[in-house]
Structure 1
Amino acid sequence: MSLYRKNLGTSGEKLARSYLVANKFEILKKNFRSKFGEIDIIAKKYNCIYFIEIKTRSNDRYGKPYEAVNFRKINHIQKAADYFLLKNPLRNLKLKLAVISIQLDINEIKFFEL
């Protein structure tokens, strides 16, 4: 991975964390890794746990950031979330998958529940 892409991803993750905190989410875990894949952020809001994928692009030349989250990626997130819950039992909480899409050239941050 190029240094530019790594810095882009790091910038996106910082923006996403700020967005979540500003919107009353409690961040439980960052960059959770398992044999099934990585979950960028695991957060809680009210009675819900969110497993969040962050996609950041500098512009939409190759499409919107959220368009990069395909069925295969969603499947990996679901499996990694199941593994997280196996290791960290959480009771009486709703579970949700979400994407934070960040496009830097237009200062756009969008939150999508899947």
Structure 2
Amino acid sequence: MKKDNKQKGDRGEAMAARYLEEKGHVLRTRNYRRKTGEIDLVSQIGETLVFTEVKLRTTDAYGTPAQAVDSRRQQRMIKTALWYLQENSLFDWNVRFDVVEILGSPETGYVMNHIENAFLM
């Protein structure tokens, strides 16, 4: 089960990375991890760093994928983003937090929704 979830997550992140690159983002890193948490994708568009959470779900029976990015998850992302900014001396950059939600499966196809500025620091 964990292996399936990891593969599903990796597939969603790859889809989201391609999507963001098509929109002009330059991917800086994937799966940035610190003790405070993980950020799926870190990209740059212009002079803005974008920290993106990717959520892939096969059904919305328990809510949309983006609804899984609750306030606890947001706080973990913010703390982890601060580590990234500090380690890379990027405190003078604009920052935003996005969510890419993906709904579907290989059999049914996927619908992707990019929520820019999903929450604030």
- TM-score range (shorter-chain normalised) is over 0.9
CA distance in 2, matches of 1:102, 1:74: 18
The CA deviation at 1:91 is 5.4
Q: Deviations over 1:40-86 (max 9, x none)?
A: 11100011101111111112122211010000000000000001111
Equivalent residue number for residue 45 of structure 2: 45
CA distance in 2, matches of 1:59, 1:48: 32
Which has the bigger relative contact order, CA under 8 A and spacing at least 6? 1
Equivalent residue number for residue 79 of structure 1: 79
Q: Is the CA contact (8 Å cut-off) linking 1:47 and 1:92 kept in structure 2?
A: no
Structure 2 residue identity aligned to 1:108: V
Count of residues paired in the alignment = 114
CA distance in 1, matches of 2:112, 2:15: 8
Distance of aligned partners of 1:91 and 1:59 in 2 relative to their CA distance in 1, 3 Å threshold:
same
Structure 1, gaps ≥5 residues long: none
Most deviating of 59-68 and 83-92:
83-92
Equivalent residue number for residue 93 of structure 1: 93
1:62 paired to 2:62:
yes
Q: Deviations over 1:15-55 (max 9, x none)?
A: 00110111000000110000100011110001110111111
CA distance in 2, matches of 1:40, 1:24: 18
Distance of aligned partners of 1:64 and 1:106 in 2 relative to their CA distance in 1, 3 Å threshold:
farther
Structure 1 residue identity aligned to 2:111: E
The CA deviation at 1:108 is 1.1
The CA deviation at 1:96 is 0.6
CA distance in 2, matches of 1:22, 1:14: 12
Could you tell me the TM-score, scaled by structure 2's length? 0.88
Identity of aligned residues (%): 29
1:9-24 matched pairs, under 5 angstroms? 9-24=9-24
CA distance in 2, matches of 1:10, 1:70: 21
Q: What is the SS of the residue equivalent to 2:84? A: helix
Give RMSD over aligned pairs.
Answer: 1.4
